[in-house]
Amino acid sequence: MKVFETPNYSQEAVTEYLEGQIKKEGFVNKRDLETLEGIRDIDRSFRKITLILESPISSEEKISISYVDEQLSSIINDSDHRFLLWRPRYANLSVLDADLSIGSYSMSDNSEAVKTVVEDLILQRWNGQELDEELKPKLRDLQADPLSAIALIIPRSPHSLKREEKILAERKQVHSYVLASSLVTNCSSKEIMVSSEIGEQVSVKTIVAEYQDISSGNKRLVFLETPGSDSLRDAQKSGYALTRICDLYPDCKHLFG
C-alpha cells in the first residue's frame, strides 16, 4: 500500500487545535455549545488518475495527474457534487511505501466507481466544451455592432434581448462546469481530455473529530486531511470537501462514526 508523505502532528497539538474549534456563544463570557467527544486517525483510499490531454491548437499531448476519493465514489451521483471527490493538490506530493507495522492498510477495491466518476467528468466536459463553441458565434451575432448608429436609433427587440440573456445563462453554466473540471484535474479549460487511466491506491491520513451539541445531542464531524498540509488549519481546509459531503449525504457519516 502507498501513502502520501504526511507531517507528524503530535496528539497534544491536534487535541488543542480541535478543542479550539468547539462552537461557543457570547462575547465576554463565552459558553460552549458543544463538547468534543472524540478524535480518531483513519486511513482513506484515493486513486491516482492520469489524464491524457490534447491542445486544440497544437494537437500536442500532455499528461495531467489528480486523485479521486475512492471510498466515497459510489455514494455521490450528482455531477456537481462529484467535484468534492477530487484532490488536485495531492498531485505534487511524494508517495511512499506504507509502514505495515503501523495499523492496517487493507482497503477495498472501488475502482469501478472511480472509473464512473472520471468518465462522467470527461463526458460532461466534452459536452460543455462543444456547446460553448456552438454558443459563441450565436452570441457574437446577437451582439454584433452594439454601438453602431442604427443600434442607437433603433433599440433591439425584447425577443433579441431575451434570447441573448438565455444564451448568456446557458453559456455561463457550461463554462462554469468546464472551468471547475479544469481546476480539479490540473489542466486548462481549452485542453481536450483524450483518455484516462485509473492508477494505484494511495492512503490519505485523515483526522476525524466528533462534536456533540449540548442542547440537542446532535453530532457534528470535522475532518482534517493532513497530507501536504503546512498546519492543522491547512489540514482542515483540505478536509472541507469531505465535511461538505457528509453535510450533503448524512448517511455517509456512519462510515466515520
**pLDDT value at position 136?**
55
The verdict on residue 33 lying in a domain is no
**pLDDT value at position 211?**
94
Which parts of 90-180 are beta strand (E)?
95-97
The verdict on residue 140 lying in a domain is no
User: What's the pTM?
Assistant: 0.81
**pLDDT value at position 163?**
58
The verdict on residue 49 lying in a domain is yes
Range of the domain at 116: 2-11+42-120+191-206+229-255
Quote the number of domains for the chain.
Answer: 1
221-248: average pLDDT: 95
The verdict on residue 83 lying in a domain is yes
Give residue-wise pLDDT tens across range 172-206: 677 788 889 999 999 988 889 999 999 999 999 99
Give residue-wise pLDDT tens across range 80-136: 999 999 999 999 999 988 765 444 455 788 899 999 999 999 998 888 888 756 555
Cα–Cα dist 235/240, whole Å: 9
Question: Alpha-carbon torsion 122, 124, 128, 131, what sign?
Answer: positive
DSSP state of 51: E
The verdict on residue 112 lying in a domain is yes
HSE at residue 136, side-chain half, CA atoms within 13 A, is: 7
The verdict on residue 168 lying in a domain is no
> Are the C-beta atoms of residues 44 and 238 closer than 8 Å to each other?
no
Model confidence band, residue 25 (pLDDT cutoffs 50, 70, 90): confident
